[in-house]
Amino acid sequence: MVANPRKRLEIIEKQVLPSLFVGILSKDDKWLEHTLKVYLPELEAKALRLAQICREEKLSPEDESLCDPERIKALFKETREKLMKEHVKRESLSRFN
């Protein structure tokens, strides 16, 4: 049994995903590749499992949105796209400096 899946989903959304962008300019290609190919897919799978558990429990209207699998998939897609944009931006800055 997972302890408070709703709270864990909130932490993933409000703390874990935003923390990926802290110091991104100092992160290397290896970090980005690992994050995109390993870390984010594993974290997304975990978030989707938590959402399933959350949805099986009695939900309040605010939990419905938090535990929506489509919203979670969109959030991870947006995170991947933002990471790639930051990576491209960093690469273009490093080429011109």
Residue 54 counted as domain residue: yes
* pTM of the predicted structure, to 2 decimals: 0.84
Main-chain phi, psi angles of 67, to 5 degrees = -95, 10
Number of structural domains in the chain: 1
* Structural domain contains residue 19: no
User: How is 30-81 classified by DSSP, letter by letter?
Assistant: HHHHHIIIIIHHHHHHHHHHHHHHHHHS---HHHHHHT-HHHHHHHHHHHHH
Tell me whether residue 22 is in a domain: no
Considering only 1-5, 21-25, 82-86, which range has the smallest mean pLDDT?
1-5
Which residues have C-beta within 8 Å of that of residue 83, sequence separation ≥ 6?
20, 21, 24, 32, 35, 36
- Give burial (CB, 10 Å; 0-12/13-18/19+) of 86: middle
The answer to whether position 41 is within a domain reads yes
Classify residue 84: in a domain, yes or no. Answer: yes
Report the pLDDT value the prediction gives residue 59, as an integer from 0 to 100.
Answer: 65
Query: 23 lies in a domain?
Result: no
pLDDT, tens only, 10-26: 999 999 999 998 877 77
Structural domain containing residue 92: 5-13+30-96
Mean pLDDT, rounded, for 41-56: 94
Q: Is residue 63 part of a domain?
A: yes
| 18 part of a folded domain | no
